[in-house]
Structure 1
Amino acid sequence: MRWPSPRTCAPSAATTGSTGTAPARPPDRAAPGSAGACAPGASVGRGRPAGAARRPGGPPLPAADPLLRVPVAAAGGPPRPGCGRRAGGRTTATGRRAGLAIVRVGVLLAVALGLAADRVGRRRFVVAAAVVHCLLGAAIGLAPTFAAYVGAHLVLRCVDTTLAVAIGVLAVEWVPAANRALMLSLVLVAGGIGTGLAVLALPLAAAGRGGFAAAYALQLLGLPLVLHAARRLPESPRFLRHAGEPHAYRELLRPPYRRRLVVVGASSLLSAAFFAPSVEFFTRYLHDVHRFSSLHIVAFLAVTAAPGAAGVVAGGRLADRFGRKVVGAPLGAASALAAAGFFVAGGPWLWLLSLTAALLGAASGAALSPYGSELFPTRVRSGANTLLVLVTVCGSAIGLGTAGVLAGPLGIGHAIAILAVGPLAGAALVWLAFPETARRELEDTAGER
């Protein structure tokens, strides 16, 4: 599980998904000079200045939201403003918004694939999904119409969500109990690097129809790396031990997993209801309310976001040493308060509060990210994380809708700040209802012994 910070991505991540599986200006209103124009690998609905990478952090969302993205999974992005003209015709802003909404349905479709890694094996599914990602991602640049472009991205979003989940589960099942949170934090950092590398293709994508197709074709460069890794990637020994058990979502409706699914899902939904709008409107808030120029926004994100990677690694290491709850819950609550303060403050406080929210949120997300895998049995571990991703997306929709309704009478800053009550409640839920799982074997934490 992970909580996105005020500028999270994350897992297509994911972030999101695994779980999960990483947040600014609506895609049809991307800031000048932002990475929201036809970027293969830009995150869905996140128009942010060039170079601003998605990061994990904040109160608990599933690790696959999707947020567990690796470089090969970071390149697939949604339809962006102006992409319709390069994908076979001119489209209106309304059409582009509709396309983005349709692409988000890919997370719902991912439920159909959610159990695939539980049934055929982590390694087999990761390799197959990564190959499909590279091939389909490259083909998207050749889409003859905007409808075909959106449809291909819908399928890609589905594949990437389940791929992110499977990568996170495979990582958790392979490492020793004392290093699970640190391992997931490194996977999250790798996903952020991959997303950042995708931004480098923006100038090529803007160079007409041929450049647009070539930018997507760059994803084929990842195919040899996938095939090379496939020859050296072993299967999870835990999957092999439980391969003969039933793999069905109904397994999650039995005690004690039903209660765990409800508790983890509730904390994820509450957190997403705040962090989704805070990320969606981040650069818009800086531009419209504080009159930041595009260059000013880029500098702001460079200063406040750069330490996020260190926060992710530190959070994972601290959680392995001192415990998930004792690190994740307090830092998550503090991150939410700092993020809420950002939307009502001004002047130098903007910089300090944004930096604080980013650092604490990244550390909190890394500390809590193992819960999505630790609390559910091997036979349905990927399926459980996929359902948590779906719940997180629902929370995001609720938060965006609520912020939109409140923005009229209150203003966008205060409307978003009020929603911070969600992650605060989520942090309390983690503290009161979640078990401590640090340094315990998965068989113990998932109740398989």
Structure 2
Amino acid sequence: MASTVMVWSRGGASTKVSCLQPMPRVISRRVLSTDAADGVLNGPSGLLSPRTDIVLERAEGDAVFSAVEGPVSQYQRTVTVEPVGSDQVEIIERFDYRLAIPVWRVLFTVPFSRAIRQGREWPWWHPPDRFTARQARIVALLATLAVIAGFLGTLLGQTITFAREEFGESKSAQGIALSLIRLSILITVAVAAFADRRGRRRTLLYAAAGAILASAATSLVANLATLAAVQATSRGLSHAMALLIFVFALEEAPAGSRAFVASMLGLAAGLGSGIAVGSVPLADLGDAAWRLSFLLALAGMPLVLFAARRLPESQRFETARRQPRTRPPQQYRFRLVLLAVTSFAVLLFAAPASQLQNDFLRDERGFSATKITVFTLLTAWTAGPGMLIAGKLADLRGRRVLASVGVSGGALFAFWHFTLAGWPMWVLIAIGTLMTATTVPTLGVYRAEMFGTIRRSESNGFLGVAGVAGSAAGLAAAGFMADAWGYGTAFAILIAGPILVAILVLLYYPETTRRSLEELNPEDA
């Protein structure tokens, strides 16, 4: 429907134009005197100048603006002025837009609408950089897949104690099974190497589909050995999936917002982990009811198909694949060893602290499956704020100090909670979870930033091997020491790993904030 409105021009005169009136998403109205209106419209950063905040605009005509850049697939801003009295006018600013954020759009519509209506300042919740429509779409799709990866990666640790009970196996057998499952890292390395040669997108989608199907097949196993074999396949593919999501997203993210994107992916994976934890009470329905949690994995297949139709290939990979594969630069080996030691030392503590917690709560504190779920959910929620705050600070202030404090402080509080009972145990692990979560956007981003595109996925696969070695060593050592001396003593010894990492980060890690991947890895330039 067309109508005639009066549009205020820069010269102060008004003209009549005929325009289509789309149904606006956001309308801002203000009534001002004619003199005041002229300042609002034509002054510095006035309404008749293009915006340069979370949306970069260009003028399409008198008082009509479209988006040059921003997280929107459709966008138009129209400014109209209508007289309401002898010396007053009403300024109407209309925004019609569609966010380029599939799946998660409902979470961002209200804050985005409020931000564009209230002014031209960057909102507190926004990443440090403006996102393009492509970047917003890719990160949203990868976050959707991260939910699945988080679910698949958490499920075994939450349910194996119940599977062991059904199969009549000992804790030692459970520990051996968990250690053998970690050989699935070989699958992860192979998939990661394939992604460096054939592409991120296709490899990621195949890994996601395979991990889901293998997880669903776990519900059919007849003994602990078969469970270990099937889960080795699922875990190998789901870890490759998580690795590729991370690499893909950070290759597409703006240089000044990589830590923020890492925190978003961490939150999405945390949601998946929370769903896995929330499924644990199903185990209380019967000896074999733990199998129902693995069947839930099939719900992720429609999301994989949804992403497959919309996810493009990484631009950096498309550029790198056209270049000849050269020898690694001199700094490559040092960085690989440094990050491998970090992965080993962190998971030496973190893997047993996470995987043995349910056994600790069940055997040492007498928790039921439902109470374990309540404990986990009520103490793990702090991870979200931890990642969000650290992601923004890491992009604005730097990574190294935050990473060092997060990895050492998180381990200290986690160790402490194994020595106590009652409400202090709940409080301490909640604080430890918050501090540990800060390492996702601070320490985790180095895994993508320290390697060139043609070796980024493969290098992360090798780091996964180091992490698995640390996990296996930590689980074996923790299990032995917990039986001999108790959980407190076991983790008091293993905390040496995170303390070592905190020192390495401060001494040897570079500061990568707001530096492009090409600057950090000249072989990509």
Q: TM-score, normalised by structure 1?
A: 0.73
> How far 1:204 moved relative to its partner?
6.0
Q: Match for 1:244: what amino acid?
A: R
Between the aligned partners of 1:297 and 1:205, the Cα distance in structure 2 is 11
Deviations 1:326-382 (A, max 9, x none): 321123222233333334456654344322212111113322111000000100101
One-letter amino acid of the counterpart of residue 314, structure 1: I
Per the alignment, residue 147 of structure 2 pairs with 71
The change in CA–CA distance for 1:103 and 1:351 in structure 2 (over 3 A counts) is: closer
1:324 counterpart = 2:399 = yes
Pairwise CA distance, 1:286: 5.0
Alignment-derived partner of residue 510 in structure 2: 435
User: Is contact 1:75-1:194 (8 Å) kept?
Assistant: yes
Cα 1:259–1:210 shift into 2, 3 Å:
closer
SS at match of 1:436: coil
Shift of 1:150: 3.4
| Residue number among 499, 511, 525 corresponding to 1:424 in the alignment | 499
Deviation at 1:212, TM superposition (A): 7.1
Q: Is the alpha carbon distance of 1:137 and 1:411 closer, same or farther for their aligned partners in structure 2, counting shifts above 3 Å?
A: closer
SS of 1:80 mapped into structure 2: helix
Contact 1:338–1:354 under 8 Å retained in 2: yes
Alignment partner of 2:239 out of 154, 161, 168: 161
SS at match of 2:522: coil
8 Å CA contact 2:375, 2:426 repeated in 1:
yes
Q: Deviations over 1:95-152 (max 9, x none)?
A: 5554433322111332222211111111111122222223333344345676544332
Post-superposition offset of 1:257: 0.7
CA distance in 1, matches of 2:289, 2:365: 35
Q: Which has the higher contact order (CA 8 A, sep 6+)?
A: 1
RMSD over aligned CA atoms reads 3.3
Within the candidate set 121, 129, 135, 2:213 is matched to: 135
Residues 370-396 of structure 1, C-alpha deviation per residue, up to 9 Å, x if partnerless? 100000010010111111111111112
Residue aligning to 2:22: none
Determine which of 310, 316, 319 is the counterpart of 1:238.
Answer: 316
Structure 1 residues 165 and 402, CA gap change in structure 2 (3 angstroms) = same
* 1:105 partnered with 2:183: yes
Q: Structure 1 residues 429, 202: CA separation in 2 closer, same or farther (over 3 Å shift)?
A: closer
Distance 2:501 2:344 in 1: 8
Write out aligned runs for 1:75-94 (5 A). Answer: 75-76=151-152, 77-78=155-156, 80-81=160-161, 83=163, 92-93=169-170
Q: Paired residue for 1:392?
A: 467
Q: Which residue does 1:363 correspond to in 2?
A: 438
Give the superposition deviation at 1:232: 1.1
Q: What is the SS of the residue equivalent to 2:160?
A: coil
Confirm or deny: 8 A CA contact 2:162 2:283 kept in the other structure: no
Q: C-alpha separation between the residues in 2 aligned to 1:146 and 1:287?
A: 20
Equivalent position SS for 1:226:
helix
Note the residue ranges of structure 2 that are not aligned, 5 or more in a row. Answer: 1-142
CA distance in structure 1 between the aligned counterparts of 2:358 and 2:223, rounded to whole angstroms: 30
User: What letter corresponds to residue 496 of structure 2 in structure 1?
Assistant: V
Residue 172 of structure 1 corresponds to 250
Give the conservation status (yes or no) of the 8 Å contact 1:182–1:317. Answer: yes
Counterparts of residues 30-429 of structure 1 (less than 5 Å): 70-76=146-152, 77-78=155-156, 80-81=160-161, 83=163, 92-93=169-170, 97-143=175-221, 147-202=225-280, 216-245=294-323, 254-286=329-361, 298-344=373-419, 349-407=424-482, 410-429=485-504
Cα–Cα, structure 1 residues 234 and 295, in superposed 2: closer, same or farther, change >3 Å? Answer: closer
- Aligned residue in 1 for 2:130: none
Aligned residues: 377
Of residues 225-234 and 332-341 in structure 1, the stretch that sits farther from structure 2 once superposed is 332-341
Q: Distance in 1 between matches of 2:280 and 2:290?
A: 9
- Specify whether residues 346 and 157 from structure 1 end up closer, same or farther in structure 2 by C-alpha distance, changes over 3 A only: closer
Q: Cα–Cα, structure 1 residues 290 and 228, in superposed 2: closer, same or farther, change >3 Å?
A: closer
Kept in 2: contact 1:69–1:188 (CA 8 A): no
